[in-house]
Amino acid sequence: MQCSDSIPSAQTGVGSHRERSGEPVRTVVSNLPFEDLKKREQPNRRYEGNAIRTNKYRLWSFIPMNLFEQFHRMANIYFVGLAILNFVPVVNAFQPEVALIPICIILALTAVKDGWEDFRRYQTDQQLNNTPCFIFSRKQMCFVERRWKDVRVGDFVRVLSNEIIPADILLLHTSDPNGVCHMETANLDGETSLKQRKVVPGFSSLVRVLPITKYLERPDKRRTGFGIDSLLLRGCMVRNTDDAAGIVVYAGHETKSMLNNSGPRYKRSKIERKMNTDVLFCVVLLFFMCLIGALGHAIWLETFSSMPSYIVPDSNGNYTPSVLAGFYMFFTMIILLQVMIPVSLYVSIELVKMGQIFFITQDVELYDEELDRRVQCRALNITEDLGQIQYVFSDKTGTLTENKMVFRRCSVMGTEYCHEENAARLAVISGANEEEEVTIYQQTKLPPLFPLEELQDVHTGDKNHANTQVTAASRRRSKVAAEAQSDMAFSSPLETVVVPDRKLILEVDRQMASIQTGPYLDFFLALAICNTVLVSSVTAQRQRVRVNVADLAGAERVGDVLRALTHIFCAANLSNESDGFHSSDVSDAAGQKVISSERKVKSGLSGSEEVCYEAHSPDEAALIHAAKAYGFTMMERTPHYVTVKLPDEALLKFEVLDILTFDSTRRRMSIIVRHPHTKEIIMYTKGADSAIMERLGNVFSGDKIKCVEQWCGWKAVCFSLKVISEQEFRAWSAVRQEALSAIEEKEERLMETANFIESSFTLLGATGIEDRLQESVPETIQALRRAGMQVWVLTGDKPETAINIAYSCKLLEHEDLVFTFSTSRKVLQCQLTNASVPEQTFTGPLMEPSIGLVIDGPTLSMAMSDELVELFVELCKHCRAVLCCRVTPLQKSAVVKLIRQKLRVMTLAVGDGANDVNMIQAADVGIGVSGQEGMQAVMASDFAITRFKHLQRLLLVHGHWCYSRLANMVIYFFYKNVAYVNLLFWYQFFCGFSATAMIDYWLMIFFNLFFTSAPPIMFGIMEKEVSDSTLLSLPELYKRGQHSEGYRRSTFWIAILDAFYQSLVCFFIPYWTYNGSDIGIFAFGTPMNTVSLFTIILHLAIEIKSWTAVHWVIMIGSVLVYFIVTLAYSAICISCNPPSDPYWIMHKQMADPMFYLVCILTTVVALLPR
C-alpha cells in the first residue's frame, strides 16, 4: 500500500550503507501471520527475544565462571600455584590441604561478593522482564497483556501514556491526531525534555494484519533514513500521548538502551599502579630470600661428612644430593614465605575503598538540599586519585555558572535597552527568602489547572488524572522540591520573571497602536516563536515529575491521593483568587512597582500566565519568558502551527512551514512561518552574534554590531528576519524535501539547504543573556589554585564571554599577563608560540608574573599539531591559567589527553553537559555536575556532584583523606607482611634452612586473616590525619598528595627496612632468651607470634593520629581475639595439626613470667626507634 513508497527508498539507502560498513540489513516481518507456527519456523527467529540478562553468571556456571574471572588476577594465580606446589611431596612445607586455606578463603570471599552483586542484577532483570505490556494477538484480535520477556521482534506492541517502552519500537500509530508521540528519555540519558516521534509516513491508522517487511540498520550506529524519527526506544516513557503502537524491531539486548549499557568503568588508580611495582619488589625480595634459603640448605648439608640421625633420608633410605636438596628447598621456601606477597592486600583495598566511598557519599556538606542529591561515586576504585590531582579542566557553562539564563538587555533597531531593573532584581533574588520564591512558583505553576481543563480531558483518561493530581500534590507538599523541579524545566524565577524596560514598552505600545507590523513587533515575535520550546499542558508538566510506578503501587499512596486531591483544589482556588496580589508581591520584592502595574500582562494573568514552557536550553527559556514579559506569549505549538498572543490580546496563528533546528556548526536556528494576516512567508532566525552577522543582507547597523561586541559578559543572541517569496520558498522546499528523504549524507544535504536559505537577513535586534556564576566559584578556584592545581577552563563560548567569566571567577587576575592566541593563519601561530616560549622562560623566574593564556578552538587545533605541540605544552606549563574558547567536545578531550600524556600528571575534568562527556572520560578522574543539561555527563563520570563548590571539599578534604589513608594502609600492609615473614626467615638460620615454621600454620593464617587485618582496614577507612577544617583552610596541604609524598618508593623501602629491624628484634630477643634452654619448637614460636602481634598493632597505634571509640574497640578487640583464639585453639587441638602440637603450649607459656618479660622487652625495643 502506501508503505511501498517508503520501503524502496529505505531499501536503497540501507543497501548502500551496507556496502560501506558491512552492516547487515535487518528485515523485520510481522509475527501475526505466523502466530500458529512453531518457534523454529517463524521468520524472526533469528532475532533475540526481549528478555534481558545482565547478570554474568548462571546458577550452574557460577563457580567455574567466577573462578575463571578471579584467576585473571595475578595474585590469585600466584597463590593457587603455591598451593599446588605444596602437593609436590619433595617440596611441600605444610600439609597440602592446609596450604589451600588462605587462597580458598580469599577466593570464597570474592566469590560471595561477586555472587551477591550478580544476584541483585538478576533480580532487577527479573523485575524488568516480568513487567506487563500489551501485545497484539491475532487470535483474539486485540491487544492482550503479556510480559516484557514475551515480546519478540515483529510483534505489535501498544504502549499507554506514562508507560515504559518495552523494546525499540517503530511507531505506526498514535492516538494523537498529528501522528506524534512524545517520549521522555530520562531513563536513557537523563534528559527530562520531551522528544517527539512521528508515525512512519503512511501509517496514519493502525495497519493490522499486513505482513510488513522492514529494513533497518542496527540501532547503535548512525541512524539515517527510516527509523530515526519513528523509533520509540526501550526504557523511555511515553508522554502526552494516550497510546501508541508499533512493531518491535529490536528487542532485548539489541535495543539501544542495552547496547549503550557498557558496564561499570574500571580505572586503575595511580597508587594501585605504583603498588603493583612494589608487589614486584616484594617478589624480588622473596626470590632472594628463597635463594639464600636454598643455598644455605645446600651448604649446610655439605658440611656433614656423614648424615646425622636427624636428617631424614627419603623413603628408600637414600639421601638427596645436597645441590638437589637445595633446589627443592627453594620451592619449599617460596611456600613457607609466601605471605611476603600480601594476598589479603587486594581484598583489603577493595574493602577500604568501599568504606571511603561510604563516607564520601555520606558527607552532609556535599549534599545538595535543592536537588536532594548527594555526591555519587560511580567509579569505585579511584577514590585516592582525588587526592593527587594536578590539573583541573573545567567546563564553563553549567559548571562554573548556574546555566540559568537571565535576560539582561536587548537592542532593537540600534537602540539599546538596558533592563537595569532586571539586573537589580538579580541581586535581590539571590538574597531573597524562600517565601518569595514560593509565591513566584505558585503564580507560574498552579493556576493552569482550570483554564486548561479541556486539554486535559482530551488527553488523559481518568486514571491519568488521578496520577497527575497525586504528583501535583507531592510537589505542593515540598516547596523546595518543587523549586528543584521547576529548575529542571528551565523556568526558575530567574528566567521566568523578566521585568520589562520602560522605554522599550513605550516603543512597543506605540507600534502596537499604530500599525500591526514593525521591527519591534517582529523582534518580539521572533523571540516568541523562533525556538523549539514546547508549551506543555499542565498534564505534561506535572507528569514530568517522576511517576514512580512502584511508589504509586504502594498501598499508603491511596490515602495520599485523597488527601492530595482536596489539598490541591484548595490550594488552587486560593492562589487563583489571590493571583494579582501574589504577582504584585513579587514585583514589590524586586522593587518594580511602577512598571509592573503598568503592564498589560498583568491583566491577562488568568489567561496567559499559566502557560508552562518546556525548553531544551536555558537560553530559550530566558528568551521566551522575556517575550512573554512584553506581552508576546506563545500559547500553543503544534507541528504545524504556532499561536502567539499579542499584547492587545489578539491571537496570531502562524502556520509553520519548516523549522531548521539548531546545530553546533551553523550555530543558529530558523523557523519559516506564514503570517496569518499578510500571508507572507517569513523566516525568523536566531543565533550567536557571529553566526548571524556574517550572513546579514544589508550591513546597515554597524553600531549595533559594536554594541553587541561590548556585551562581552553575556551571551549575545541575535534575531533576524527574512521575507521569502512564494516561488523561492517552493523551490527551496523541494530541495529540502529531497534532502530529508535522502539517506546517504542526509546531514550534509540538510545543512546545505539550511545554509542556502539562511542568508541575507535583516537584523532585528539582539539580546544579551547573562549566565550567573555559581556560588563560591571564585573561592573554590582560589582554593584549588592554592592547593597547587592548575585550573583550565575549556568552553565552547566565544573568547570575550569566556574571559569575562574567567575574570569574575578569579581565574584570571587583573594584574595577570594575558596572552590571547586567536588566529587563523598558521604562520602567525608558529611565530607567536615560538616567541612566547623563550620570553616565558626568561621572565618566568625573574618577576614571576602570573600568566594567563587564552586560546581559541581553531588556534588550539593548530597548537596541537605535531610540530607545535611540544612548544604549546611547554608554554602551558608556565601559565597560571589557561582558557580555551570555542572548543569542540573532541578538542576538549584531546587537550585533556595531551596534558595527561605529555606532562604525566593527574588530571581531573569536570563538566555538566553532553559536550563534556569526552573530556570526562579522557581524564584520570571525571566529575559530572548534575545540573541543567541532562545526565549524560554524570553517566560518564566517576563522581557526580551538584555544585562546583563541592569540588573543593571533595578534593581537598576527601581526596586528601582517601589518599593518605590508602597510602598509609598499603605501606602498612607491606610492612606487616614483611615483618612477620622475616621471623620465619631468621629461624631458617637455626634449623638448617629446612623451612621449618616455629609457629603453628593455622595460627599463621589466622594472624594475617583475622588478628591483624581489621586494624589496617579501619585505619584505611577512618584515619584522620588532619581535620577537615584544617585541610580547607590550608589548601597547601594538598600538595602532599600531588607529589605522591604519602606513597613513595623511599617510604616503601623505609617501611621494609623498619620491618626488617622489627623482625630481627622480635626474633633475636626470644632467641637469646631461650637459647640453650629446653624450650620446644612451638613453645619458642608462641612468644614470637605474640610479640610480633603486639609490635604490629602498636606500630599502627603510633601511626594513628586520631583515636575514636571505633579505633579502640578494633585495636583492643584484635589483641583479645588473638589471645582468645590462640588459647582456645591450643586447648582444643590435641594433635589436630601435626607436626605442630599446639596443645596447651599457649597456656603453659602464659603461666610463665618470662613470657611476659620477653614480650614487653621485645615490643619496646622493636618500637623504640619510632
The reply to whether 397 sits in an annotated binding site is: yes
* 169 lines the binding site for another protein (CB under 8 A): no
Stretch that binds another protein, among 590-598, 886-894, 984-992, 1002-1010 (CB under 8 A): 984-992
Q: Which of residues 82-121 bind another protein (CB under 8 A)?
A: 89, 93
Which residue from 7, 480, 552, 1098 is in contact with another protein, where contact means CB under 8 A?
Answer: 480
Strands lying side by side in the sheet with 943-945: 376-377, 943-945, 925-929, 907-911, 391-395, 790-794, 881-885, 851-856, 817-821
912 assigned to a ligand binding site: yes
Q: In the complex, what is the shortest distance from the CB of residue 117 to another protein, in angstroms, rounded to a whole number? A: 22
Q: Is residue 1108 part of an annotated ligand binding site?
A: no
Q: Please report, as residue ranges, which positions from 570 to 599 form the binding site for another protein (by CB under 8 A).
A: none
User: Has 755 been labeled as part of a binding site?
Assistant: no
Main-chain phi, psi angles of 836, to 5 degrees: -75, -25
Q: How far is the CB of 193 from another protein (least distance, A)?
A: 23
Tell me how far, at minimum, the Cβ of 301 lies from another protein, in Å.
11
Interface with another protein (CB under 8 A), residue from 709, 726, 748, 1152 = 1152
- Whether residue 976 is annotated as binding a ligand: the answer is no
Q: Smallest distance from the beta carbon of 317 to another protein, in angstroms?
A: 5
The grid cell for 233 is 526506544
Q: Chain-centre distance of CA 131, in angstroms?
A: 28
Closest approach, Cβ 1016 to another protein, in A, equals 18
Using CB under 8 A as the binding rule, whether residue 553 contacts another protein is answered as no
Number of residues that bind another protein (CB under 8 A): 83
Stretch 481-520 residues interacting with another protein (CB under 8 A): 481
Nearer to another protein, 554 or 697 (CB): 554
Rule CB under 8 A: choose which of 424, 659, 1014, 1154 binds another protein. Answer: 1154
Tell me: is residue 686 an annotated ligand-binding position.
Answer: yes
Tell me if 886 is assigned to a ligand binding site: yes
Cis geometry, peptide bond prior to residue 1139 (ω within 30 degrees of 0): yes
Site for another protein in 1083-1102 (CB under 8 A): 1083-1085
Where would I find the beta strands (DSSP E) of 523-640? Answer: 534-536, 612-614, 633-637
Question: CA-CA distance, 970 to 275, in Å (whole number)?
Answer: 8
Torsion angles phi and psi, residue 668, rounded to 5: -155, 165
Per-residue exposure over 769-792, b if at least 16 CB sit within 10 Å of its own CB, e if not: bbbbbbebbbebbbbbbebbbbbb
DSSP 651-680: EEEEEEEEEE---TTT-EEEEEEE-TTT--
305 binds another protein (CB under 8 A): yes
Closest-CA residue to 974 (of 1012, 1029, 1026, 936) = 1012
264/469 Cα distance (integer angstroms): 38
Interaction mask 513-552, another protein, x per CB under 8 A: ----------------------------------------
528, three cell numbers = 516568541
Select from 1106, 1120, 1124, 1128 the one that contacts another protein (CB under 8 A).
1106
Give 477 or 706: the residue with its C-beta nearer to another protein.
Answer: 477
Is 23 marked as binding a ligand? no
Cα separation, 385 vs 381, whole angstroms: 9
Q: State the Cα–Cα distance between residues 102 and 341, nearest whole angstrom.
A: 12
- Give the footprint of another protein on residues 913-932 (CB under 8 A): none
Instruction: Give the span between the Cα atoms of 356 and 958, in whole angstroms.
Output: 9
How far does Cα 292 stand from its chain's mean position? 51
Strand 633-637 with 376-377, pairing: unpaired
Residue showing cell 619496646: 1164
Least Cβ distance, residue 1064 to another protein (angstroms): 14
522 has catalytic annotation: no
Among 57, 178, 65, residue whose Cα is nearest residue 121: 57
- Smallest distance, Å, CB 95 to another protein? 8
950: closest CA among 1132, 775, 794? 775
Site membership for another protein, residue 477 (CB under 8 A): yes
718: enclosing H helix or E strand: strand 715-724
Q: How far apart are CA 937 and CA 917, in angstroms?
A: 5
Residue number, 24 or 308, with CB nearest to another protein: 308
| Alpha carbon distance 663, 723 (integer Å) | 23
- Residue span 1021-1050 as binding mask against another protein, x where in contact by CB under 8 A, dash where not: -x-x---x----------------------
Contact flag: residue 1169 with another protein (CB under 8 A): no
Residue 140 in contact with another protein, rule: CB under 8 A? no
Q: Which of residues 313-332 bind another protein (CB under 8 A)?
A: 313-317, 332
Q: CA 940 to CA 376: how far, in whole Å?
A: 12
- 396 annotated as belonging to a binding site for a ligand: yes
**478 lies in the binding site for another protein (CB under 8 A):** yes
| Closer of 138 and 567 to another protein (Cβ) | 567
The stretch near another protein (CB under 8 A) out of 145-153, 644-652, 1011-1019, 1144-1152 is 1144-1152
Question: What is the distance between the alpha carbons of residues 836 and 831, in angstroms, rounded to a whole number?
Answer: 8
Q: Is 1073 annotated as a binding residue?
A: no
| Distance of closest approach, residue 1005 Cβ to another protein, in angstroms | 18
Secondary structure E strands in 817-922: 817-821, 851-856, 881-885, 907-911
> Is 1019:1104 a contact under the CB 8 Å cutoff?
yes
Site track for another protein across 1063-1082, x = CB under 8 A = ------x-xxxxxxxxxxxx
Q: Is 1046 annotated as a binding residue?
A: no
Catalytic residue among 189, 395, 924, 1000: 395
Which grid cell is 531? Answer: 525556538
Residues with Cβ within 8 Å of 752's Cβ and at least 6 positions away in sequence, in order, are 739
Q: Which of residues 373 and 772 has its CB atom nearest to another protein in the complex?
A: 373
Q: Is 1103 annotated as a binding residue?
A: no
- Residue ranges in 356-415 that form contacts with another protein under rule CB under 8 A: 358-359, 361-364, 367, 369, 372-374
Which of 182-190, 308-316, 670-678, 1092-1100 is the region at the interface with another protein (rule: CB under 8 A)?
308-316
Total number of residues shown for the chain: 1170
Q: Binding site membership for Mg(2+): which residues?
A: 395, 397, 912, 916
Binding-site positions for ATP read 395-397, 620, 662, 686, 795-797, 886, 892, 915-916
Instruction: Give catalytic residues, as residue numbers.
Output: 395
